[in-house]
Chains A and B, each alone.
Chain A
Amino acid sequence: MKGNSLISIEDLTRDDILEILERAAEFEKNPNQDLLKGKVAGVLFFEPSTRTRLSFETAINRLGGKVVGFADAKITSATKGETLKDTIKMVDNYVDFIVMRHHIEGAARYASEIAKHPVINAGDGANQHPSQTMLDLYSIKKTQGTLENLNIVMVGDLKYGRTVHSLLQAMRHFNPTFHFVAPNFLKMPDQYKRYLEVAGIPYYEHTELTTDVINEADILYMTRVQKERFSDPLEYERVKDVYILKNSMLANSKDTMKVLHPLPRVNEISTDVDENPKAYYFEQAHNGLFAREAIIAKVLGL
C-alpha cells in the first residue's frame, strides 16, 4: 500500500488485497474488538451518503473508537467558503484518522497529502470508492471460495459506474474473464478496456442481457441505470427495462453463481429474485462492515 492512506484500489497490491480480505473474515467471526480504544475518527461527509457513513461509523464503534464529523457539508463551514485544505488541517489536529466522502474527484488524494494522519476514501465523485470494492471482493471470495479465474458479468451503467471500474481494476490480479452488458452510450470507457488489454485480460461486450451470458457467469454484477444520465427520457424508458433481471432468467445459471449489486437498487433486479439463494446483494451490503473494519485496521497498522 502506498503510504498509510487508502485512496484508490490501485494503491493496493495483490498481497494487500488478500491480507485485508483475510482480516475481514476474522472480523466476521468476531466483529467487536477493542482495537480503536482511545482513538477518534473524523468522519467527513462533504457529500451525503447515509448507507456508506453508517457502515463506517458502525465499524468504528464496533472497534471501540469514537467518531466526530459531519454528515453533510451544508452544516459545516465548508459551505461558508472554507477550503478543503483548511477543513482537513483543522480536523487532522483532532483525530487519529479521517474517513471522507467528497463530490470532487481527487479530493481524498489531496486530503491525504495535507493530513498527517491516514485518510480513507469513502468515495470521491465518479472516481474511486475502495471500501465498496473491498466488500465486493470479500463477497466474491466468500461465495466462490476464490478470486481466481472467475467469469464476471457486469450489467447496466458501465460508463459512470465507479464501482464496476474499481472492481475491474482490483480483479486484474486474479485472472478473470469479463462480460460487459450495457447500452452503447453507457458502455465501458476505453480507458478501462485498454487497461484490460495491457493486463492481457479478456473481455466481451454485449448490448443485451441474455440467458446465454448469464449462464456463463460466476458473478452477475448488476448496477443501476440512473435516469439522470439520460438526456432523452424516452431513451431511458426504452433502455431501463432491457436490464431488468428476473428470477426466470436465472433458471439455467451455474449453481454457485451469485447476483451482486452495490445498492440501493431501483428496478433493475425484480423482487422475485430476492428469494433465490443466488441473490447475494443484501449479505453483500452486510459484508461492508467487516471489509471496513479490516481497512481501518490496515491503515492504522493495528
Chain B
Amino acid sequence: MTGKKELQVSAIENGTVIDRIPSNKLFTVISILGLDNTDLTMTFGMNLNSNALGNKAIIKLWDKYLADEEINKLALVSKDIKINIIKNYEVVEKKVVSLPESINGIVRCVNPKCVTNCEGVSTRFNVVSKEPIAIQCCYCEKIFEEKRIEII
C-alpha cells in the first residue's frame, strides 16, 4: 500500500526527491537547505508510512539538483535520508548522505563560554568521528556527540 501513499505527494518530472526524512525533522531539513527562502516549486508530505522507519517525511523539488555538499549537511539530521535524482519521471540516480569533513554555520556550539555565543561569530565545526558522530568546535575546541548537537 505504500505505493498509494506515495501518490499523495505527486510525482515530479525532473528534480530531486529527499526521501526517508524522520517526520519530526522535516522542517529542520527545510531550514538547513534554506528551502523556506527560495522560489523553487516543491511539494512535501509528512507522517507517511515507511516500513523501515515508521513515519517518514518526503520533499520533492521541481527542476532542482542539489550539490553534494548541500546533501551531506543532511547527515546531521539522519543518516537514513536518501536522495533520488529524477529525470523524465524516472529515478536516474540514488544518493546517500555522508557527513562532510567540516560543518559551517548550521550547528550551534552549546558551550555558553564559546566566542561563537559571545561575539556573534558564525560557527565552524570539524567532524572528528562519523560513527558515532562527534564534532569539534573550531573555536572553543569542545567536542560534542550526536545527542548534544543543536541545529540552528
Q: Which residues of A contact B (CB under 8 A)?
A: 8, 10, 83-85, 103-107, 109-110, 124-128, 191, 194
Tell whether, in the assembled complex, residue B139 and residue A85 are in contact, meaning their CB atoms are under 8 Å apart.
no
B16 interface hit (Cβ, 8 Å): no
Closest CB of chain A to B120's CB: distance in Å?
8
Give B84-118 interface residues, CB cut-off 8 Å to A. Answer: 111, 113-116, 118
Q: Which of B114, B137, B143 contacts A104 (CB 8 A)?
A: B114
- The answer to whether residues A126 and B139 also contact, given A84-B119, A110-B119 and a CB cut-off of 8 A, is no
Chain B residues in 8 Å Cβ range of A128: 141
Q: How many positions in chain B have a CB within 8 Å of any CB in the partner chain?
A: 16
Chain A residues in 8 Å Cβ range of B143: 191, 194
B142 interface hit (Cβ, 8 Å): yes
Chain B residues in 8 Å Cβ range of A191: 142-143
B138 interface hit (Cβ, 8 Å): yes
Chain A residues in 8 Å Cβ range of B140: 105-106, 124-125, 127
Tell whether, in the assembled complex, residue A104 and residue B142 are in contact, meaning their CB atoms are under 8 Å apart.
no
Closest CB of chain B to A88's CB: distance in Å?
10
Residue of B whose beta carbon sits closest to that of A191:
B143
Tell whether, in the assembled complex, residue B141 and residue A104 are in contact, meaning their CB atoms are under 8 Å apart.
no
Specify which of A105, A110, A124, A127 lies most central, judged by the most chain B CB atoms within 10 Å of its CB: A105
Count of A-B contacts judged by CB separation below 8 Å? 49
Chain A residues in 8 Å Cβ range of B151: none
B40 interface hit (Cβ, 8 Å): no
B121 interface hit (Cβ, 8 Å): yes
The distance in angstroms between the C-alpha atoms of A124 and B118, with both chains bound, is 13
Residue of B whose beta carbon sits closest to that of A83:
B119
Specify which of A85, A110, A125 lies most central, judged by the most chain B CB atoms within 10 Å of its CB: A110
Tell whether, in the assembled complex, residue B113 and residue A105 are in contact, meaning their CB atoms are under 8 Å apart.
yes
Tell whether, in the assembled complex, residue B139 and residue A105 are in contact, meaning their CB atoms are under 8 Å apart.
yes
Residue of B whose beta carbon sits closest to that of A105:
B140
Closest CB of chain B to A61's CB: distance in Å?
30
Tell whether, in the assembled complex, residue B111 and residue A109 are in contact, meaning their CB atoms are under 8 Å apart.
no
Tell whether, in the assembled complex, residue B138 and residue A104 are in contact, meaning their CB atoms are under 8 Å apart.
no
Can you show 14 pairs from A to B with CB atoms below 8 A apart? A84-B115, A103-B113, A104-B115, A105-B140, A105-B141, A106-B114, A106-B115, A106-B121, A106-B137, A107-B115, A110-B115, A110-B139, A128-B141, A191-B142
Chain A residues in 8 Å Cβ range of B120: 83
Tell whether, in the assembled complex, residue B115 and residue A105 are in contact, meaning their CB atoms are under 8 Å apart.
yes
Specify which of B111, B120, B140, B143 lies most central, judged by the most chain A CB atoms within 10 Å of its CB: B140
The distance in angstroms between the C-alpha atoms of A99 and B120, with both chains bound, is 22
Chain A residues in 8 Å Cβ range of B115: 84, 104-107, 109-110
Closest CB of chain A to B105's CB: distance in Å?
15
Known pairs A83-B119, A106-B116, A106-B140; list 11 more (Cβ under 8 Å): A84-B115, A103-B113, A104-B114, A105-B139, A106-B137, A106-B139, A107-B115, A110-B119, A110-B139, A127-B140, A191-B143
Closest CB of chain B to A189's CB: distance in Å?
9
Give B134-152 interface residues, CB cut-off 8 Å to A. Answer: 137-143
Tell whether, in the assembled complex, residue B141 and residue A8 are in contact, meaning their CB atoms are under 8 Å apart.
yes
Tell whether, in the assembled complex, residue B119 and residue A105 are in contact, meaning their CB atoms are under 8 Å apart.
no
The distance in angstroms between the C-alpha atoms of A57 and B138, with both chains bound, is 28
Closest CB of chain A to B123's CB: distance in Å?
10
Chain B residues in 8 Å Cβ range of A84: 115, 119
Tell whether, in the assembled complex, residue A127 and residue B119 are in contact, meaning their CB atoms are under 8 Å apart.
no
Q: Which of A103, A110, A126 contacts B121 (CB 8 A)?
A: A110
Chain B residues in 8 Å Cβ range of A109: 115, 138-139
Residue of B whose beta carbon sits closest to that of A84:
B119
Closest CB of chain B to A184's CB: distance in Å?
21
Closest CB of chain B to A127's CB: distance in Å?
5
Residue of A whose beta carbon sits closest to that of B109:
A106
Chain A residues in 8 Å Cβ range of B116: 106
The distance in angstroms between the C-alpha atoms of A125 and B116, with both chains bound, is 14
The distance in angstroms between the C-alpha atoms of A110 and B113, with both chains bound, is 14
Residue of A whose beta carbon sits closest to that of B112:
A105
The distance in angstroms between the C-alpha atoms of A127 and B111, with both chains bound, is 11
Specify which of B139, B141, B142 lies most central, judged by the most chain A CB atoms within 10 Å of its CB: B141
Chain A residues in 8 Å Cβ range of B114: 104-106
